[in-house]
Structure 1
Amino acid sequence: MGALAAVGLDPGVLGPGSGVRRVTLPDGRAAVVKRGPSVAAEAAGLRWLAVPGGPPVPEVYAADAEWLVTREIPAGGASAAAAEEFGRRLAALHDAGAPAFGAPPPGGPADAWIGDTGMRNVPVESWPEWYAEHRVLAYARRAGLPDTAVFDEVCGRLPELAGPPEPPSRLHGDLWSGNVLWSTDGAWLIDPAAHGGHRETDLAMLALFGLPHLGRVLAAYAEVAPLAEGWRARVPLHQLFPLLVHTVLFGGGYGSRAMAAAHAALRA
């Protein structure tokens, strides 16, 4: 049975093409319906991120290779208390761990998605090796920038720039502020690009485009799971991945921001 049939929806009512729609299911539940090539990876990610004590994620009502139906989360406002709770819960999510850097969620495809571009999840034991090959260089090669030498230099020095070794964390993977949904009962995570990675990457993404009460989020996180010395200086290193993704997707000034982050990482 397909995802729509499982929840009693008629695909003809939803219309053609990919996209996101808010619907009321026949049983009265408010839901979000997505159609597109990324839904199988997103469904696996949502299920994997639903850990005890972690940030809440929308329940997956039904999913297949084409459609994803999830619970609709009512919007609310960000508060200092909710931000602190989010920080503690994010630490619990990261602590749930992953089998390896680059490991996909159980049942999730290796060829996954971040936004509207592909993202390959390939398990690797070493974070510097994995981040260099499958995150920085993979997107620098596709970004169309006139000079990528600075990214090669960063990747060549990653073992010394990466900070103390850490075990793989369970990452949301696309944790910019738009994917933190402030609801009436706190902060929820939506639209993941989940994989095993370095926890500082999720935290660096939160800072990339601004998050309400970010200082409180980070302080509460660090109370539960102290961060390694020098983590603030490594923020540009971890922002290279999302900045290069944005360069691939949107071009514009993101390429120069990615290059500036690379130079900042080398100076750390």
Structure 2
Amino acid sequence: MAQKILVVDDEAVLVETIAYNLEQSGYQVVTVADGSSALEAAHSETPDLIILDIMLPGIDGLEVCRQLRREQQTATTPIIMLTAKGDEIDKVVGLEVGADDYVTKPFGRRELLARVRALLRRAVLPSAQSVRVEDEEKNGSGKKAQPADTRSQRLLVAGPLSIDLAGRRINCRGQDMELQPKQFELLTYLVRNRGTVLTRDQLLHNVWGYDYAGDTRTVDVHVRWLREKLEEDPANPKLIQTVRGVGYVFRWDKAS
């Protein structure tokens, strides 16, 4: 069955062009022209991805995104924001309210399709090469490693954090929670590279993709979101630490 994409924009010609290109690429497309209709369609149509313009009549795109992220049904649906403005603040605010990516108008057909494919791929395909990361305090026990079972192949464990790769869920300090697609990918990448300092450019390249046109503030916004969900004290993070002038590193110290 074709994946369904909801396109929300009040520019009729642009919507027709986007819909045509998506349909030619094999997607099913639903279109609406205002914020209220977008909220209704997001629930009734259950799209696999939403392309959402910021400037909409009635409820604007930012508020639509906020509301979708508050509701369980749409909390993790990938969202690409469209903006006609060159002001970087629009892009940052879009990420702050929960968008996974953004495209600035005018944009090319290939650029939009590449971003759509990348988000859908990350949303529906769990890693087939998942490895279990054991707690540091369990290492060095002298016991011979046993072959990984099905559960261990789909689970990353580091300190108080457990990541279910197949179910795309996490548990931190006994609390189950869901992450937006990009947050999940970023956290998984950080945990897989635990103890290694990763630059913002490395994170952009490996999590958002080599063709991503955003800047490093995208990484900072998503790290802040992760800290708010995972850290006991987000202002003094123990898991995702900043290495000044370089980037970020995931660490787990039992004493912390």
Give the TM-score taking structure 2 as reference length.
Answer: 0.31
Q: Name the structure, 1 or 2, with higher relative contact order (CA <8 Å, separation 6+).
A: 1
Give the TM-score taking structure 1 as reference length.
Answer: 0.30
